[in-house]
Amino acid sequence: MGTTGGSDMKTGFAKLQGEDFEYYMQTYSIMLGRNSKKSTVDVDLSGLGGGMNISRYHARIFYNFTRRRFTLKILGKNGYLVEGILHLSGTTPVKLDSQDLLQIGDK
């Protein structure tokens, strides 16, 4: 993530924030997972722990223009916890609200 116009201000449609990282969404769709020799993702979660519980393509956050909100599509086999509720691959995309807590689900 670079700065724009020599300023320290970062902008985007939404911000993902964790204890050790910040990511500003500057497109309407991003892929979360882990980078490998075969694939790259927008947000590499492998540095945050979780190891092999994180799929190469674990989830996609995208803006749903019909519903006018960001949603999370689960792609990885271990799913995601959104506000403590486990969502698995193949389920309906999860609506995201401001400050929702997202965690990799491994059980």
Domains and their CATH numbers in the chain: 14-104 (2.60.200.20)
Q: For a pLDDT cut of 90, what percent of the chain falls above it? A: 50
DSSP secondary structure code for residue 47 in this structure: G
pLDDT at 8: 56
Residue 55: HSE in the Cβ half-sphere, 13 Å Cα cutoff: 16
Q: Kindly report whether the global pTM for this prediction surpasses the value 0.95.
A: no
CA–CA distance, 2 with 62 (Å, rounded to integer): 22
8-30 residue pLDDT tens: 567 888 888 877 778 899 999 99
Mean pLDDT lowest for which of 8-12, 13-17, 54-58, 83-87?
8-12
Q: Between these two residues, 28 and 4, which has the higher pLDDT value?
A: 28
- What number of helices (H) and strands (E) belong to the chain? 0, 10
The confidence score (pLDDT) of residue 21 equals 79
Name the amino acid, one letter, at 63. Y
3-state SS, 90-105, equals CCCCEECCCCCCEEEC
Say what the pLDDT of residue 95 is. Answer: 96
Q: How far apart are CA 42 and CA 30, in angstroms?
A: 6
Tokens of 82: 């959104």
